[in-house]
Structure 1
Amino acid sequence: MTLFYQKNYSNYSHAPFKLIFKILESHAAHSSKPSKAEQEKLIQLANDTHALHDRMATTEDTDELHIVYQVFQLCLSALKKWSTVVDVPFGAPKFEAMSIFNIVTAFVGFDGESTG
């Protein structure tokens, strides 16, 4: 039994249908599957973005909320592009080997401590 999506659509005579099939075929030919490491980074970025979203829901401090929201938007933008590179407006700092959520949480936690 052949499923609908497994049929060969090149035999169809409808011009618009052929055009759509060719566009999809071309798009599929140019797309590439990310490597296993890239997939794991994307999953971690998605988890960090979700954690930042949860943090926004529980944060009452407006300064903290602003920082978390900005980082959330940057992570979301990277995910929309299927990229693990987060484009930041202030350059490319060398982060420690920890998640973005943990970095923001550590920064916000440190912000409340006194230095003297």
Structure 2
Amino acid sequence: MVSGSILCPNVDSRRSTAQESMGPNRRIIELPVDSPKTIGLYVYWVYTGKLLAGRNKPREDSTLTYMDLVDSYILGDRILDTKFQNSAIDAVIEISCTKMKDGF
């Protein structure tokens, strides 16, 4: 569960779209297509504002792969959160730059 006060700034602009799937008194948005890891990345991003802990440094609790970030971008598109999509692209660029510097 994610606090409504945290999600509201991200969700308000999508309210009319989300209401179609939520119903009149329901405050749960179901995302059956997305993996728990992708949802976890979104929740982490909502609370911290970043997908990477620091410049060129993956999150401490897992290693982000390109596919994780692609899935994150797709989730952002599905829920109409362009800021999250931009963060996913920024993370792809950071990982790419790190790998190029390390010779991978």
TM-score relative to the length of structure 1: 0.30
Q: Give the alignment's TM-score, normalised by structure 2.
A: 0.32
Please say which structure displays the higher CA radius of gyration: 1
